[in-house]
């Protein structure tokens, strides 16, 4: 029987081989917890087993010890390499822990910065709202600019119709209403301003598909009534916004506003 004994606790003892009729026992010095020398001892035992099995010869203990002594240089080189790899592994582990710690710190700082930015943005939005609310609101009559000639207005609407602009129908309905009711029309920056006498009474405001009308108010909005399905009071501009989704309803609302003004 071939067996292996080891001082895995790191106690240093001379390398020793005992050979009896029934056993070959190899005592491995300084095996250590990494098991490097123990591995060498196991390899030696395996070689002995193979050799004795194939040759039918017994190897003397002193010969085994002599062979192992010749391998000590290689064994030491292996141990040094294992030590180096172990140190490298430990450095990598420490570096990994440091990187993880650094990234955790960065994530915490990012979250703190994001929270502060949100607070700042919310505060600025509130400040802006407060400033806008504090602006003076004038209810004076808005002066009407010089009216645009009727032929220029017609050409402008015709061009929108030719370009299949979805707002063309709304502008045409408003122009027809203003013309039939004797209102002046001013084409200003792509929108229409409607005037009565020397004052502006309404202006258009469009999206890509719809034209609304902002009807200016002079009286207290609490004293007037409006249809919430089609009209909405805009406090900032002191006007009624008339939706242009339904052109017939739009012109009906314009007629009612004109009559009450």
pLDDT tens digits for range 11-54:
344 456 666 666 666 666 555 545 566 666 677 677 777 777 77
Share of the chain above pLDDT 70, in %: 73
Q: What is the pLDDT of residue 8?
A: 38
- Looking at per-residue pLDDT, the higher value among 103 and 67 belongs to 103
Q: What is the pLDDT of residue 179?
A: 93
Mean pLDDT of 2-19: 48
Q: What is the pLDDT of residue 170?
A: 92
Whole-angstrom Cα distance, residue 22 to residue 27?
16
Q: What is the pLDDT of residue 3?
A: 42
Q: Is a pLDDT exceeding 70 seen at residue 204?
A: yes
Whole-angstrom Cα distance, residue 156 to residue 150?
10
Mean pLDDT of 255-259: 86
- Looking at per-residue pLDDT, the higher value among 48 and 164 belongs to 164
Q: What is the pLDDT of residue 12?
A: 46
Mean pLDDT of 47-70: 72
* Top-confidence range, 107-121, 165-179, 204-218: 165-179
Whole-angstrom Cα distance, residue 122 to residue 36?
65
Burial class (CB in 10 A: 0-12, 13-18, 19+), 256: middle
Is residue 76 within a helix (H) or strand (E), and if so which, with residue range? helix 72-134
Q: What is the pLDDT of residue 171?
A: 93
3-state helix, strand, coil split of the chain in percent (to 5) is 50, 20, 30
Which of 105-109, 147-151, 195-199, 224-228 is predicted with the least confidence, judged by mean pLDDT?
224-228
Q: What is the pLDDT of residue 213?
A: 92
For the chain, give the mean pLDDT.
78
Q: What is the pLDDT of residue 219?
A: 64
Provide the token pair at 47.
Answer: 């070689």
- Looking at per-residue pLDDT, the higher value among 168 and 228 belongs to 168
CA atoms lying within 13 Å on the CB side of residue 28: 24
Q: What is the pLDDT of residue 9?
A: 38
Q: How confident is the model at residue 135 (pLDDT cuts 50, 70, 90)?
A: low
Burial class (CB in 10 A: 0-12, 13-18, 19+), 111: exposed
Mean pLDDT of 56-63: 71
- Looking at per-residue pLDDT, the higher value among 78 and 36 belongs to 78
Q: Is a pLDDT exceeding 50 seen at residue 216?
A: yes
Q: What is the pLDDT of residue 96?
A: 87
């Amino acid at each position: 029987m071939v067996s292996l004994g080891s001082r895995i606790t790191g106690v240093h003892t001379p390398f020793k081989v005992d050979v009896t009729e029934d056993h070959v026992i190899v005592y491995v010095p300084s095996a250590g917890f990494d098991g490097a020398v123990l591995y060498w001892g196991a390899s030696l035992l395996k070689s002995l087993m193979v050799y004795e099995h194939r040759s039918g010869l017994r190897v003397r203990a002193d010969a085994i010890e002599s062979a192992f002594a010749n391998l000590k240089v290689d064994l030491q080189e292996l141990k040094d390499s294992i030590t180096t790899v172990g140190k490298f592994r430990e450095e990598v582990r420490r570096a990994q822990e440091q990187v993880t710690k650094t990234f955790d710190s960065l994530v915490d700082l990012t979250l703190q910065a994001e929270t502060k930015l949100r607070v700042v943005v919310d505060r600025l939005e509130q400040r802006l709202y407060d400033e806008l609310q504090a602006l003076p609101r004038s209810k004076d009559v808005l002066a009407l600019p010089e009216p645009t000639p009727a032929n220029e207005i017609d050409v402008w609407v015709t061009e929108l119709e030719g370009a299949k602009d979805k707002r063309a129908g709304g502008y045409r309905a408003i122009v027809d209403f203003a013309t039939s009711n004797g209102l002046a029309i001013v084409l200003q920056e792509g929108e229409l301003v409607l005037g009565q006498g020397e004052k502006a009474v309404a202006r258009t405001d469009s999206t890509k598909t719809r034209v609304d009308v902002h009807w200016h108010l002079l009286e207290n909005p609490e004293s007037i009534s409006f249809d919430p399905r089609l009209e909405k009071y805009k406090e900032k501009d002191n006007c009624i916004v008339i939706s242009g989704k339904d052109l017939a309803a739009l012109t009906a609302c314009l007629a009612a506003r004109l009559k009450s003004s």
